[in-house]
Copies of this chain bind each other. A is one copy, B any other.
């Protein structure tokens, strides 16, 4: 029996003390520690356990948020007219793919600049992508790759929001180039202010999973685009009449909403960022419940309101009500009681029902209702945080929301204007009337189904 080996757990100080003991006392102590040593393999597993749980949360959360890309694609494909469905599908799979590459190449570094909070520092990080493929670093508490995977999905979600608003009237390539800038530069910079340890987080702004950072940001980018792009041909008559352009496939739209709802469990739950303790597991559970409750409340509220106001329940409002409930709870899904989650989500549903026609009055053409759902409900969710979360303030929440809003809107507007004045944003009127599928892609989504 090698006594020294058995006692490797002891400190140097302890060892010298130990050496001064008589032999038989050393033996007694050695015997005692043997039990520990024999349990060593289990100790090794336990050392890793929290790391594995944390990583697993990012991976499960990540694939759920990944699936939101499919949710956005189905929602948008269902809410555009059939002549633009192929284009909408193309934009959605393309924007997700582009986001992956742009976020890796530029965005991830911008978002976590470490000490490089200067212009030079920012520039220095560009095109020097972090290596996330190294060995497991137990000290960080989770796998670097799992964090990258999870963060990427949030970046891509931001871009997905934009595509819905601008549907049916923007050419493919300018949209994709905008996506490169949004996912590679604009989102990572504003996200770094909070999640990268930047000035907003230091100032006390609170946005748990991104009501502002993801949803409102996507909404602002969409809003800037919608204003610069203008509405679809024929959407707003000269007499002020709003012409409804109903979605072509509400089955897909509903499927998309359910997929987004499911993905949101990963979106909000994964944003706990840890699963390695019972307290974390409990927190993730509370987040799942609150997230679900807010969505339910948003949907029910939209259902009741459309019944009361229009005497008919409007499915698209119910779908957007659920989504607005989800966006509303995203800034603070952990702290509210269930009742809190319900009323926060319900107000999200109210927002949708009133904001959708309001945008039409402003002649801002938002094809899928993304601005009410993501921007306005995102504002509401951000402002609702101080009701339940200690250490937050309405003022600071407003400052955070406004700062990100101004930055994203201005940056997006510049990119949209540059694209408009160079390659142009809109197809010709003939192409738009014909539909982008035939005009730009030469491929119809439903080539065999006669148009009624």
- Which stretch from A59-67, A217-225, A358-366 is at the chain B interface? A59-67
Q: How far is the CB of A447 from chain B (nearest CB, A)?
A: 5
A residues 23-46 with Cβ under 8 Å of B?
24-39, 42-46
Could you tell me if B31 and A28 are in contact, using CB atoms closer than 8 angstroms?
no
Could you tell me if B447 and A449 are in contact, using CB atoms closer than 8 angstroms?
no
Closest B residue, CB atoms, query A245: B447
A residues 248-284 with Cβ under 8 Å of B?
248-252, 254-255, 257-259, 261-262, 265, 269, 275-282, 284
A135 interface residue, CB < 8 Å from B? yes
Q: How far is the CB of A60 from chain B (nearest CB, A)?
A: 7
- Which stretch from A198-206, A228-236, A297-305, A397-405 is at the chain B interface? A297-305
A292 interface residue, CB < 8 Å from B? yes
Which among A7, A34, A101, A316 has the highest number of chain B CB atoms within 10 Å? A34
Cα–Cα, bound, A312→B315 (Å): 35
A208 interface residue, CB < 8 Å from B? no
Could you tell me if B10 and A34 are in contact, using CB atoms closer than 8 angstroms?
yes
A58 interface residue, CB < 8 Å from B? yes
> Given A90-B318, A276-B52, are A10 and B25 also a contact pair (CB < 8 Å)?
no
Against B, the Cβ 8 Å flags (1 = close, 0 = not) of A177-202 are 00000000000000000000000000
Closest B residue, CB atoms, query A290: B133
- Copies of this chain present: 3
Q: How many residues of A contact B (CB 8 A)?
A: 151
Could you tell me if B34 and A254 are in contact, using CB atoms closer than 8 angstroms?
no
Residues of B within 8 A of A395 (CB): none
> Given A39-B9, A289-B149, A443-B246, are A254 and B29 also a contact pair (CB < 8 Å)?
no
> Given A34-B9, A282-B55, A449-B449, are A132 and B338 also a contact pair (CB < 8 Å)?
yes
A386 interface residue, CB < 8 Å from B? no
> Given A25-B25, A59-B285, A138-B278, are A93 and B318 also a contact pair (CB < 8 Å)?
yes
Where chain A touches its partner, the secondary structure class is: helix
Q: How far is the CB of A155 from chain B (nearest CB, A)?
A: 12
Cα–Cα, bound, A257→B74 (Å): 12
Q: How far is the CB of A323 from chain B (nearest CB, A)?
A: 11
Residues of B within 8 A of A246 (CB): 443-444, 447
A100 interface residue, CB < 8 Å from B? yes
Q: How far is the CB of A134 from chain B (nearest CB, A)?
A: 8
Closest B residue, CB atoms, query A64: B63
Cα–Cα, bound, A26→B27 (Å): 10
A423 interface residue, CB < 8 Å from B? no
> Given A275-B52, A278-B51, are A448 and B452 also a contact pair (CB < 8 Å)?
yes
A13 interface residue, CB < 8 Å from B? yes
Q: How far is the CB of A450 from chain B (nearest CB, A)?
A: 4
Cα–Cα, bound, A314→B94 (Å): 11
Closest B residue, CB atoms, query A152: B292
* 12 A-B residue pairs with CB within 8 Å: A21-B27, A29-B32, A39-B43, A47-B278, A52-B280, A81-B448, A94-B318, A97-B296, A98-B296, A138-B278, A144-B285, A250-B446
Task: Enumerate the 5 nearest inter-chain pairs by beta-carbon distance, A residue then B residue, closest first.
Answer: A9-B35, A145-B285, A70-B258, A136-B282, A32-B32
What would 9 more interface pairs be, CB under 8 Å, given A100-B295, A138-B278? A9-B38, A22-B24, A39-B43, A49-B49, A70-B258, A97-B303, A104-B338, A172-B313, A250-B445
